[in-house]
Structure 1
Amino acid sequence: MDLRYPIGKFQAPESFTQEQLQSYIKTIEEAPALYEAAVKELSEEQLNTPYRPEGWTIRQVIHHVPDSHMNAYIRFHWTLTEDHPTIKAYKEAKWAELPYLQEVPIELSLDLMKSIHARWSILLKSLSIEDFEKTYLHPDYNKVFALKTVVALYAWHCKHHLAHIESLKERMGW
């Protein structure tokens, strides 16, 4: 198994159906409970264990996911309220390494994830298929992203980091 990409790298779907959309929204909606269950019984030492050599700790992953998804949620708002906006990029690796996060209880990030995902799911369910065709420009990649691709990406992102946690627990016998 590839420890960095345990479920494989993201592959943008070639088509975009209502069924796929519902599946992506369901993944986003259910992710917080799955993350909470995955880390519920872990000790501080286990939370401070990297999921792979040179990788983030479980604690960093738990803090990263709501940070990342908060940015995605805001990007959706920009794209829905502006004409093809250039979004604000951020240095996710540097965010994950901010020293104060060692002191932040993971419960705060899990609660943040619950709130973001609850609002985001309601937003996603309210959109038309046409809304998912709207686009933004990502300045770091100089690439245009349609919201339909972004929702698929973040459904994958939910599963990707959850697999980091679950595969580490399995390898370590936790």
Structure 2
Amino acid sequence: MTLEELKYPIGKIDIPEQITKKHIENWISDIERFPHELEFLVRELSDNQLEIPYREGGWTIRQVIHHSYDSHHNSYMRFKWALTENEPVIKAYDEKLWAKLSDSKSAPILPTLDALKGLHAKWVYLLQGLSEEELQKAFIHPDGNKRVTLQENIGIYAWHCQHHYAHIEQLMIREGWK
């Protein structure tokens, strides 16, 4: 596999210009299933296997799992801000530095998987209740002052779920663990 294929096993994100109700429904379904599918995928991995990076120079499986929670928690908060403020500038975070913290590098994954399940249950409930008007609300990402609508962000995070799931799954296939 090329480095590009290892980095982007499902391809780079591609949000359509015209987002339909069907897109939103499918994306919310992806977000809803992710924690359970991830737990099923990694439940039998040993601590040694969790320390294997999905690619050379990439994060370990453990770090990818903890990153998923950190990233999705930040995204959930961005939805709340966009729904309660007028196009807020959100706080970005340095995911690479967060991945180096002890809770990302060495903490057990089960509490994080449980937290991810709880977070996604609450997040999906929020997403399913959004009106067409609310889906058009937006926040400003400080990297490039990019305006991101909530409907776009649903697509971004559906992709994010699949992206990191594929990192782990592809490693497991390459290693003969699956």
Offset of residue 103 of structure 1:
3.5
Structure 1 residue identity aligned to 2:167: H
2:169 counterpart of 1:171: no
Give the match for residue 21 of structure 1: 24
TM-score using structure 1 length: 0.97
3-state SS in 2 of match to 1:108: helix
Which of 47, 55, 59 is equivalent to 2:58? 55
Q: CA deviation at 1:28?
A: 0.4
Consecutive unaligned residues in structure 1, runs of 5 or more:
none
- SS in structure 2 of the partner of residue 171 of structure 1: helix
Residue 99 of structure 1: how far off its partner (Å)? 2.6
- For residue 138 of structure 2, the aligned residue among 135, 139, 144 is 135
Q: Deviations over 1:96-135 (max 9, x none)?
A: 1113433421001101110110000000000012211111
Q: Deviations over 1:15-61 (max 9, x none)?
A: 11111111000000010001001101111111000000000000000
* Mapping 1:1-174, distance limit 5 Å: 1=1, 2-174=5-177
Supply the AA of the counterpart residue of 2:171.
Answer: L
TM-score normalised according to structure 2 size: 0.95
Number of residue pairs aligned between Structure 1 and Structure 2: 174
- Provide the rounded CA distance (Å) in 2 between the counterparts of 1:37 and 1:129: 34
Report the Cα distance in structure 1 between the residues aligned to 2:67 and 2:105, rounded to whole angstroms. 12
Letter in 1 for 2:91: K
Structure 2: unaligned runs, 5 residues or longer: none
Cα shift readout 1:42-98 (whole Å, capped 9, x = no counterpart): 111110000000000000000000100000000000000001100111111110111
For 1:101 and 1:31, how far apart are their aligned partners in 2? 19
Q: Give the root-mean-square deviation of aligned CA atoms.
A: 0.9
Preserved CA contact (<8 Å) 2:53 2:61: yes
Residue 6 of structure 2 aligns to a residue whose secondary structure is coil
> How far apart are the structure 1 equivalents of 2:103 and 2:166?
25
Runs ≥4 in structure 1, deviation > 6 angstroms?
none
Secondary structure, in 3 states, of the residue corresponding to 2:116?
helix
C-alpha distance in 2 between matches for 1:20 and 1:52:
30
